[in-house]
């Protein structure tokens, strides 16, 4: 089948689709344009280029802030932070977040927690450049408390 017959066959299929849908569709691309779309190697190059632009350069991953990992068990929230060796971190905890002072250049870091914790039941340990903070989750009361209504 030559190219002209192929174009005619595609055009008749396109017109049949238009009549089935009851609307005019955009112009059918020519065979030359369709041949251009068969080569999809440019898609891989484009995706690779975008990934390279979006990813930080090797060795530049958060040079100013240490990387943290926050996860939960049934009863605890655990935060692990990679820090420089010989760091002297100061950990401050409130119900919804952790603040770590004593980082590089006297900077601090605030980490939001996925749920509320009981600050005074928390423990922290530091070993081989990893600071681990273990915090007890705060139980949410499912009991209702009745409140009196004042009529005005």
> pLDDT of 89-145, one tens digit each?
899 999 999 999 887 777 888 999 999 999 999 999 988 888 999 999 998 888 888
Within a domain: 149: no
**In which residue are the tokens 């408390």 written?**
145
pLDDT score at 73: 93
Q: Is residue 148 part of a domain?
A: no
Containing structural domain, residue 117:
68-137
- pTM (two decimals): 0.53
For the residues 48-70, what does the mean pLDDT come to?
70
Spatial distance between the Cα atoms of 83 and 67, rounded to a whole number of angstroms: 8
In a domain, residue 88? The reply is: yes
Higher pLDDT, 16 or 70: 70
Q: Are residues 87 and 36 in the same domain?
A: no
Query: Do 77 and 107 have their domain in common?
Result: yes
Q: Is residue 144 part of a domain?
A: no
Residues 117, 75 within the same domain: yes
128-137 residues labelled b (16+ CB within 10 A) or e (exposed): eeebebbbeb
Exposed e or buried b for every residue in 62-73, given b needs 16+ CB within 10 A? Answer: eeeebebeeeee
Q: Is residue 59 part of a domain?
A: no
Q: Would you place residue 60 in the very low, low, confident or very high pLDDT band (cuts 50, 70, 90)?
A: low
Taking alpha carbons only, the member of 114, 85, 81 closest to residue 97 is 114
**72/133 same-domain check:** yes
Higher pLDDT, 10 or 150: 150
Residue 87 CA to residue 82 CA, distance in Å, equals 10
In a domain, 152, yes or no: no
Say yes or no: 75 and 132 in one domain. yes
Structural domains in the chain (count): 2
Structure tokens at 78: 């655990």
**Same domain? 38 vs 81:** no
75 and 114 fall within a common domain: yes
Q: Which pLDDT score is estimated for 92?
A: 95
In a domain, 146, yes or no: no
pLDDT one-digit tens code per residue, 14-57: 788 778 888 777 776 666 666 666 677 777 787 888 888 777 66
Q: Are residues 41 and 77 in the same domain?
A: no
């Amino acid at each position: 089948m030559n190219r002209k017959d192929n174009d005619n066959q595609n055009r008749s299929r396109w017109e049949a689709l238009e009549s089935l849908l009851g609307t005019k569709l955009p112009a059918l691309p020519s065979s030359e344009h369709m041949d251009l779309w068969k080569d999809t190697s440019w898609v891989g190059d484009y995706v690779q280029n975008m990934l390279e632009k979006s990813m930080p350069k090797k060795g530049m991953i958060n040079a100013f802030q240490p990387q943290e990992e926050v996860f939960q068990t049934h009863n605890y929230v655990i935060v692990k932070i990679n820090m420089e060796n010989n760091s002297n971190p100061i950990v401050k905890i409130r119900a919804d977040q952790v603040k770590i002072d004593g980082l590089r250049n006297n900077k601090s870091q605030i980490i939001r927690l996925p749920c509320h914790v009981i600050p005074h039941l928390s423990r922290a340990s530091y070993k081989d450049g990893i600071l681990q903070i273990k915090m007890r989750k705060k139980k949410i009361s499912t009991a209702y408390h009745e409140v009196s209504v004042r009529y005005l």
